[in-house]
Amino acid sequence: MASKRISPDLADLEKQIGYSFKTRVLLEQALTHVSAVKGPVTTDAYYERLEFLGDRVLGLAIAEILYRTFPSEDEGVLSRRLATLVRKESCAQVAEAWGVSPFIRLGPGEMQSGLRKKGVLLGDVCEAIIAAIYLDGGYETARSVVERGFGVKLHESDAGRRDAKSSLQEWALGRALPVPVYREVKRSGPDHAPLFVIAAEVQGFSPCEAEGPSKRLAEHAAAEAFMTREGVERP
């Protein structure tokens, strides 16, 4: 595992996150993109394995927090809240609040492309940092960091509402229309940072397009845009 310091100011980032690492190299790994690895590329030199673990730690932590915070809500509402809180956009917002972007280590090409500020990368790094905290300090410590970082989002007004695709489908079926169709219009960008343009199509209506860093997120954005255009209210 590479141990080269990324920045002399990592202590500032730790203050923002609210956790000081005993094994600083874990934080460095969480902040390192594969494009910045010099020499032989090993899986412990960049953040992707940590991201994989962090996604699961985040999901468990958020599920536990929701279970305690909303004791009267049923499984369906809790699931919708969970889906909202663990999505990449939410993780990216937390990473932005932590001030992570200047500390991310990228290769020259990726730096010039502006990858450092893209939501998909920030979301990935947020999850990797959560995994690094879990490995360094244990689950309870990671859960506390998650609760502080994501806590403000727990009571957002739309957190328990249906996701956009489910709401659009329900609306279409309620009007005796076929289930909405999502069509890929365009894909651009490199493999590690793709950008998809998806059209949401409902019979009898003009398609509505939106973009996102994955097909799933672009589909949800297109459904959201369609409902906004047609004045559809989500339950």
Q: What is the pLDDT along the chain (235 residues), one digit of tens a residue?
A: 444 444 448 999 999 999 999 999 999 999 999 888 887 778 788 899 999 999 999 999 999 999 998 888 888 778 878 888 888 888 998 999 999 999 999 887 666 555 555 678 899 999 999 999 999 999 999 999 999 999 877 766 455 456 788 889 989 999 999 999 999 999 987 776 678 899 999 999 999 999 877 788 788 889 988 998 998 876 5
Classify residue 45: in a domain, yes or no: yes
Q: Which amino acid is at 29?
A: Q
Question: Domain check: are 29 and 81 in the same one?
Answer: yes
Task: For residues 207 and 182, give the distance between their C-alpha atoms in angstroms, rounded to a whole number.
Answer: 9
Q: Which domain holds residue 90?
A: 10-153
Write down which residue in 93, 122, 153 finishes a domain.
153
Residues 160/82, Cβ–Cβ less than 8 Å: no
Question: Domain check: are 130 and 69 in the same one?
Answer: yes
Classify residue 4: in a domain, yes or no: no
Residue 16: the pLDDT is 93
| Cα-based distances in Å from 48 to 33, 54, 121, 127, 218 | 8, 10, 11, 9, 22
Question: Domain check: are 52 and 133 in the same one?
Answer: yes
Question: Domain check: are 127 and 217 in the same one?
Answer: no
Residues 31/125, Cβ–Cβ less than 8 Å: yes
Task: For residues 188 and 194, give the distance between their C-alpha atoms in angstroms, rounded to a whole number.
Answer: 6
Task: For residues 49 and 149, give the distance between their C-alpha atoms in angstroms, rounded to a whole number.
Answer: 21
Question: Domain check: are 148 and 168 in the same one?
Answer: no
Question: Domain check: are 71 and 143 in the same one?
Answer: yes
pTM comes to: 0.65
Classify residue 2: in a domain, yes or no: no
| Cα-based distances in Å from 46 to 37, 68, 188, 210, 217 | 7, 34, 24, 31, 25
Residue 130: the pLDDT is 98
Task: For residues 215 and 196, give the distance between their C-alpha atoms in angstroms, rounded to a whole number.
Answer: 6
Question: Domain check: are 24 and 126 in the same one?
Answer: yes
Classify residue 158: in a domain, yes or no: no
Classify residue 235: in a domain, yes or no: no
Residue 1: the pLDDT is 45
Number of separate domains in the chain: 2
Question: Domain check: are 148 and 170 in the same one?
Answer: no
Question: Domain check: are 44 and 113 in the same one?
Answer: yes
What's 191's domain CATH number? 3.30.160.20
Active site residues: 55, 127
Question: Domain check: are 142 and 123 in the same one?
Answer: yes
Question: Domain check: are 180 and 72 in the same one?
Answer: no
What's 148's domain CATH number? 1.10.1520.10
Classify residue 106: in a domain, yes or no: yes
